[in-house]
Chain A
C-alpha cells in the first residue's frame, strides 16, 4: 500500500486527511444494519481540482475510492467494501448559483439539503427545491444520484428527473460537464444533447465522482395546506391515489401506515400537500382534491381527517423531522428501510407483504409510500427499527430487510438504493444485456475498477 497519508495530505493539506483509528471506525459504517467495512483512509477535498488529483492518485496506485455525502443512505452504499479511500465530499458545500427565471440552483456536491433550503428561504423565498425526508444534513448530490424523491415528487418526479446537469470527475481523472452546461454557460436542461447523466445516476458511485450539479427549483407558494385521507382498505388505495393525483393539484402525495401509536394500526393515511398564492386558490384546490375521492367520502369508506391548524404543522414540516423518531422505537438508535420503486397498482400486495413480514419476524415496522409523478410509480417503503446494541435485534431487522427485498423484486418492484446483497438479487432478475451494458460501461469508464468496488457485481 502506498503512503496514502502523504499523497493525500499533499493534495488537500494534512488537516483534511486521516487514517486514525477513530475516523476509520466511524467511516466504516452508516446508521443502517450493514456490517462495518473499514477504509484505509478518509480524505476531504475542497475543490474539483483536489478531487481530480485524488482520483489520479487512486488510479495510479489502484486504490478503491468511495464517494461519500452525509452517509445517510442507510443501505451502506458508501462503505469501503474493499477498503481504500473514503472521499468525504462535504467540504465542497457551496451554493454556486441560483437562476431565478430558469428556476435552477447550481451547487457543489457536498451541499446539504438543509443549507440549500435555508439559502433559498433567505435569498429567493419564492423558490424551493424538492426536499427529501432525509435529515437536512443529507446532501443534494447524494440524494439525486440514488434517484431519491421528496416533497415535490408528485409534481416533478424522482429527484434525478429534476437534474439539469452535472460536473463529474471520471474514474480516469478527467473532468466532464454533462447536460446543457457542456456547451452553454447555463445549466438549464439535459436535453437536447445525448443524455450522459444516466451514467451517474443509480450507479452507487461506481462510475465517477459528482462534483457539481444543477437541479430544478419550483415556485414556493406562500400558503400551504395538507389533507390527510384515511381509509381501512388497502384495496382501494390504488384508485384513491389515481384519483387524487389525477387532479394534478398537489405537490406531494405520501401515504403512511404504522402500527404505533395504537390508534393508527390498521388505518391507511394519505397526506396530500398542496399550496397556493391566495386563500381562495387554496380552498379551490382543497375542494377539487376532495371531490376526486368523493365516491369514497359518500360511501363513508374514507375521508379527510379534521385537523385544526396547529395539528397540521407536523404534516407541513419539510423535511419531516418526526421521521427520525422511528430510530428510537426500539430505544436503539437505528432503522433501515427497503424503498421499493413500484407501480402503484401493487399497493395492496405491497402492504400485505409488509404486514406479513413484520408479523412473522416480530420486527417494529412502519410503512408508507411517496407518489412519483402523476401516479407513474411509487416509492413504497418498509422501515424496520432496531436496537443497535442488540445483535439479535439487528439480525431480525436484517432478515426482514432481506426478505422484503426478495419479495419486492419477485413482485415486480425494484429496491431503491439497494445495498450490495439486494443488488445481487436485482441482477439475478435483470435483463442480461442490460447488465452486460453496465459492465461494459464500467470497464470503459473505470478500467482499473477503483470506484466503489463491490457494488453492482454478480455473485
Chain B
C-alpha cells in the first residue's frame, strides 16, 4: 500500500544523473554517480545511503520527477540504515505522535494549518490574515520530517490518518476544501509527497506565501516599504515545491525588500544544519551554518528572513550575532503594514 512512484527505467535513460552530480554534500564524477544510482535503484549497498545529508535537494535536481530522495529513504529503512541514532529516532517518533485529542470544529476560509507549531499561532492575526480559522496540533502534524530519519513507514502509517483528521474534523462539514499551509513542509507534504506515495488528498493545499501575496495586493495602500536588503533562508522542504519560489520574490517586491543575490540561495540553498546535528554530524553542521551565515553577512543584508520555523530556531541567534534581524516572512509582512509598523 502507498507504493512510491519510482520507475527505474527512467534512471536508466537519464544522461545527467543530476540527483547525485548536483549534490552539495557528496562528490561524484558522472560514471561513479551512475554506478551509485544504479546500486540504490537495485536495493544494494551504497555510500549514498549512509552519507546522505537528507537535504531533499535531489528531488528538485532530478529533471524527471523520479523521486531520488524518497527512494534513498526507502532503501535506508529497508536496510536498517539509520541517519540518526536509534534512540533519538525512536524518541522523536514518540514525541510527535498524534495524541488523538482532536475534536470537530467548524471552520471557514481561510483555514490556516499551523501543523504542530502552537507557539506560532499568535502570528496569524489581522491585518495580514483576514478572519482566519486556525487548526494546529499533533493530530494535524504533517509527518514529513521522518524523511530525515529513514522512516517512510511512519509517514505511510500516519499521513493518511492526518489527512483524514483534517478533512473529517474540520473541512468537510464546514464546506471548505482549501487549506492554507503556514509551514512549507505541510504544503510539500500534501502536494508533492502524498502524490508520490499515492496517498489521496481530498482538499486543495494553498501555500501561505500565495495567500500572503494576495493579501498584500489587497492591502497595498497600507504597506510601508522596508527598503532593505534581505537574505532569505530557503528551507529543505522547498526543494520539493520549487514552483512556489516565485511567491517569495513577489512578496519581497511588494514590501520593498531586495532579496540579495548570494551563493547559498535558490538552487544552491544550504540546509540549516539542525538535521545534521540530529545525525551527529556536528562538524559538518558547523561548516554548513558558517558558510551560509557568512554568505548572508557578506551581502550586507539587514534582515535574515525565514520560511521555516525550524530553520529560524536553528539560525536566528547566530544571524542576530552577525547583525541581521532574524524574522519569519509572515511576521515581516505584518510588520510593514501600517498600523502594525507604528507599534514597533
Interface residues of A, Cβ cutoff 8 Å to B: 230-232, 262-264, 267, 283, 286-287, 290, 296-297, 300-306, 308-311
Contacts and interface: CB of A to CB of B under 8 A. Distances in A.
B76 to A, nearest CB: 12
A44 B88 CA distance: 52
B274 A232 contact: no
Best-surrounded residue of B84, B94, B95 (most CB of chain A within 10 A): B94
B95 A263 contact: yes
Given A306-B274, A308-B313, A267 B87 contact: yes
A262 B85 contact: no
A195 to B, nearest CB: 44
Given A306-B274, A306-B277, A301 B85 contact: yes
B91 A303 contact: no
Nearest to A227: B282
A287 B294 CA distance: 22
Contacts of B246: none
Contact of B84 (A232, A264, A303): A303
B324 to A, nearest CB: 16
A5 B91 CA distance: 60
Given A308-B313, A309-B317, A290 B282 contact: yes
Given A300-B86, A303-B84, A287 B91 contact: no
A263 B91 contact: yes
B12 interface: no
B91 A308 contact: no
Please give me the 3 A-B residue pairs with the lowest Cβ-Cβ distance, nearest first. Answer: A303-B85, A306-B278, A263-B94
A230 B313 contact: no
B130 interface: no
B280 A303 contact: yes
Best-surrounded residue of A262, A263, A286, A290 (most CB of chain B within 10 A): A263
B87 A301 contact: yes
Given A297-B85, A310-B313, 7 more contacts: A232-B87, A262-B94, A263-B95, A287-B283, A303-B85, A303-B280, A306-B278
Contacts of A283: 286
B221 to A, nearest CB: 37
Contacts of A302: 85, 87
A398 B286 CA distance: 49
B53 to A, nearest CB: 13
B90 interface: yes
Contacts, number: 59
A230 B88 CA distance: 7
Contact of A297 (B90, B95, B280, B316): B280
Contacts of A297: 85, 280
Nearest to B273: A306
A267 B91 contact: yes
B19 interface: no
B150 to A, nearest CB: 11
B5 interface: no
Contacts of B85: 230, 296-297, 300-303
Interface in B80-129: 82, 84-88, 90-91, 94-95
Contacts of A311: 313
A286 B285 CA distance: 13
A113 B113 CA distance: 46
Best-surrounded residue of B94, B280, B313, B317 (most CB of chain A within 10 A): B280
A304 B280 contact: yes
B327 to A, nearest CB: 15
Best-surrounded residue of B88, B94, B95, B314 (most CB of chain A within 10 A): B88
Nearest to B82: A300
B223 interface: no
A310 B278 CA distance: 16
A296 to B, nearest CB: 8
B275 interface: yes
Contacts of B87: 230-232, 267, 301-303
A334 to B, nearest CB: 28
Interface string B304-344: 00000010011011000000000000000000000000000
A305 B84 CA distance: 10
Interface in B266-309: 274-275, 277-278, 280, 282-283, 286
Best-surrounded residue of B87, B286, B313, B314 (most CB of chain A within 10 A): B87
A304 B85 CA distance: 9
8 contacts: A231-B87, A267-B87, A300-B84, A301-B87, A304-B280, A304-B282, A306-B88, A308-B310
A296 B282 CA distance: 15
A301 B89 CA distance: 10
A290 B279 CA distance: 13
B274 A308 contact: yes
Contacts of B94: 262-263
A274 to B, nearest CB: 14
Contacts of B316: 309
A303 B88 contact: yes
Contacts of B282: 286-287, 290, 304
B135 to A, nearest CB: 23
Contacts of A231: 87
A300 B275 CA distance: 15
B275 A306 contact: yes
B193 to A, nearest CB: 22
Nearest to A304: B280
B89 to A, nearest CB: 8
Contacts of A267: 87, 91
A164 B82 CA distance: 51
A55 B15 CA distance: 93
